[in-house]
Amino acid sequence: MIQALIFAAAVATGQPAPKADGPPTFKVEHPSAKYPGEEEIAAYTPSPANAGAPQFEGDRMWKAFHEAPGVDRVVDELVDRSLADPSISDIFKSHDMVRLRRTLKEQFCYILNGGCAYSGRDMKAVHKDMGLQNADFNALVEHLQEAMDHEKIAFRDQNRFLAKLAPIQRTSVER
């Protein structure tokens, strides 16, 4: 509880979040905030609904993902694997990788009930006009599974997380 209050205070004051055990190592700011290396985007209204999935109850899933350090590693490995995969790497070439990593970490933290807000756009807007196909989405899921395996997240917890994310496919795949 004290760690959650320290984290909340850090976010409210704009200070970096503590790197101690528990609270996330990334902070959430208003989407108009500029992160080093992050490109400006058009204004939009942030909402928890934009994350594309509801939060888990309790902190069991957050702990299963090894909290903020684990989420950081999973997202970074997911993005790195996707960029290295010639079957989907072109999808990412024109995108802001700083923003992608930040918002994925926020999204995962939010869904896992790690005490984060998701400041990104809604899933339909994020994926609009990308021309994503089911094969692209499936490749991304495979990379996520590999990253979760590497992080030693239990298979049961991986499946629970993937089940939460599954509806995003309907709003992301265009053809």
CATH number at residue 126: 1.10.490.10
pLDDT, tens digit, for every residue of 67-122? 999 999 999 999 999 999 999 898 888 788 888 899 899 999 999 999 998 888 77
- Tell me phi and psi for residue 155, to 5 degrees: -55, -40
pLDDT, tens digit, for every residue of 23-71? 344 444 444 445 666 666 656 667 788 788 999 999 999 999 999 999 9
- Does residue 101 belong to any structural domain of this protein? yes
Residue 22 has pLDDT above 70, yes or no: no
DSSP string, 32-67: TSPPTTPPP-------GGGGSSPPPSSSHHHHHTTH
- Does residue 39 belong to any structural domain of this protein? no
How many domains does the structure of the chain reveal?
Answer: 1
- Does residue 164 belong to any structural domain of this protein? yes
Residue 20 has pLDDT above 90, yes or no: no
- Does residue 16 belong to any structural domain of this protein? no
Domain ranges, residue 90 = 48-172
- Does residue 22 belong to any structural domain of this protein? no
- Does residue 32 belong to any structural domain of this protein? no
- Does residue 23 belong to any structural domain of this protein? no
In angstroms, rounded to a whole number, what is the distance separating the alpha carbons of residues 168 and 143? 16
- Contact between 106 and 121 under an 8 Å Cβ cutoff? The reply is no
- Does residue 55 belong to any structural domain of this protein? yes
Strand segments, DSSP code E, in the chain are: none
Q: Which range scores top for mean pLDDT: 5-14, 35-44, 49-58, 132-141?
A: 49-58
pLDDT, average across residues 152-171: 91
Residue 123 has pLDDT above 50, yes or no: yes
